[in-house]
A and B are shown apart, each in its own frame.
Chain A
Amino acid sequence: MKKNKVIKFFTESNKAFTLISILLGFIIGGLILWFSGFNPFTAYAVIFKGIFSKPSYISYTIIRSTPLILTGLSVAFAFRTGLFNIGAEGQYIVGSAAAALAGYYIQLPAVLLIPLVILIAIISSGIWGAIAGLLKSKYGIHEVISTIMLNWIALYLQNYITKIKGFAKPNSEASKFIQDAANITFFDNWKHSDKGMAWLNNHHFAKEILRTPANFGIIIAILCALLVWIILNKTTLGYKLRAVGFNKEAARYAGINIEKYMIISMFISGSLAGLAGALHVMGVSHNITNLSAMEGYGFDGIAVALIGSNAAFGTIWSGFLFGALKYGGTKIQPFMGAPSEIISIMIGTIVFFISMPNIIKISLNKILLKNKKRGEDVK
């Protein structure tokens, strides 16, 4: 009886696949470490400690996860509506550049400025995404092609912006910092003041946390996941978007303007990725720099969405997993000289198995059913 429940869970449930894939990622990562002469258990212990052993580590993990959750949501949202948004990277860049510009130039009190900067970033990156949607619906240009190109345009656009006179920080490859009123890092001014430092010296835990650029971002990211879930499942907009994603012909026939909804979908998707960039600028970096290559938050979003089964809340968990591994993984290099790239291999492995659920399904079926004796009634 019980055994069959277990079999069923593992052969039929999505969550189980994900868990098995993650486990396989760890096993294969471990094997590779082992072959390269490192003790995998030590390595994982180092990673684990590197994530959890101090409040500041946890804080860094969360900070690292925030943009990944958002870009993951961006890719997942597009995917749920039948679009493959490879452009989260470019939308992220547009969002951060817009936030950096708005946060530097617009003079308003914080209560107004913060929402305004976020709004501007969301709209600009949304438009950046919508361009791909427009190209697809008007000219049939596949969004994979157009978003890849838009990524490069965004990159060079940002590099151009960081060179604008007055905005560029003299003698550097970066822009000027955003104003304090646009800064969402917790107590950023206070914690560097004499008073703040004195207080923090007596409050260890708070000091640990505030050593990091902890900020509101994660709350916004989680709210966005909730919002995405509501849009997709509870609103007529989500209904239409999913109908278009599942079956364009039937949607068109039912009177849904599929061109319009493709553009809307890419707008929302783009704005989620752009929000990731904006929050990063407002909460962590406070400026933008001249990029020589893509930073990869957008591309990582594809993996995050995949691991999260393209579900809103799944993306939160996979964003955290991804962020934790990325952050914790950096620690094995200094501690034991093992390459941090192992994390990328692990994530690659996880994605590999998740994209091919049948490998697991078939092998499990084989293993589990072989033991089934002849004529035994399984109920």
Chain B
Amino acid sequence: MEHGSAAGRSTVSTRFALRDRTAIVGLGATPYVKRGHSAPQTLEELVGKAIIAAANDAGVAVPDIDGFAYFAGGFDTGYLMETLGIRDCGFTASLTGSGGGSAGAVGLASAAILSGHAETVVVVGAVQQGTLRYGAIPTSYAASPESSFYQSAGLVGPGHMFALLARRHMHLHGTTRDHFADVAITVRDNAVGHPTALMQKPLTRDEYFAAPMISDPHCLYDFCLETDGAVAVIVTSTERARDLKQRPVLVHASAHGGAGEWARSIYWMDMPDETFASSGHAAIARRLFAAADVDVGGIDTAQIYDHFTSQVLMQLEDYGFCGKGEGGLFVASGAVARNGRLPINTDGGQLSGGYIWGMSHVREAVEQLRGTAHHQVAGARTALVTGGPSNVPVSGLILRSDR
């Protein structure tokens, strides 16, 4: 045996241990409704409904769920166990941060299964914005010595922070509002007719430019929706998945975290000049593709965290679908439309479908790989899902259809 290749194999077996050994077997969701319209249901009720639906979809008994993987702090596992009659829990953990962990929470579930902590793990995300709008979420955090530096500048919401990045991207790369419009119009086109999407009317370029400016260069249509709803998925071993009801969708690779230079990025604005006008996903893309046996050309569809149109462009760049600074030209070419080479956000995304803190993207990727999507991408076998641009962690996930 040649020494180099032996060492190479051993690296592969440990580092890429995730590859295809776990699978998403169940999908459940509440309807996506406009912010505040889920009342009088409670947030925990929405979570419970999504979990029950996911278990039913998988053909798994709810009491047999034995693990919980969350992001953004998650939910009270004890309460969910009492409420849903779950017998025994071997894993309950959350990624840190906020929506940046959504895609990565599926990897957390896989890690729980492969480490033997649990067999049947639910990943659940939910939002209910009845009292607090996420658009103003930083105002809900008490001022700290650290936050005083950006709260004192009137940075009320993520829309202000990401506008600073978008403006810099325009300055450096010649990106225009027409490019942002391309994203908004493309994703809206996917929402129209899609059964789960909230926005059902096509968006014209004239309407886009007539919309009120909110935080220049972002207008109304550059912002995602404000939605109530919950999405849950059930993850188990691939071996077991093949005996269950649905066609398994394999967890091929997952990564979460990010580069130190991006760590407090959107609050501190101290990223190096080369990465300021980016999504912070470049480090995650490197980890993800290093752990995968496909490169960027092998991705058939991408469900890209679209809280802001400009951040879709920057993620396309950071994952290498196009060159740095070329995101605008890439979307203008039609590449991300349903008949393009990389259809994105085929359920209308968070811009026009519904904002469930990233979990709707996981759901749509699973539908695509099962072959049951409303706007089915012909022959889709491999899908990318992203979670956040936000402060660290951000996350990425590659899912694949079985065989």
Do they bind each other? no
B residues engaging A (CB < 8 A)? none
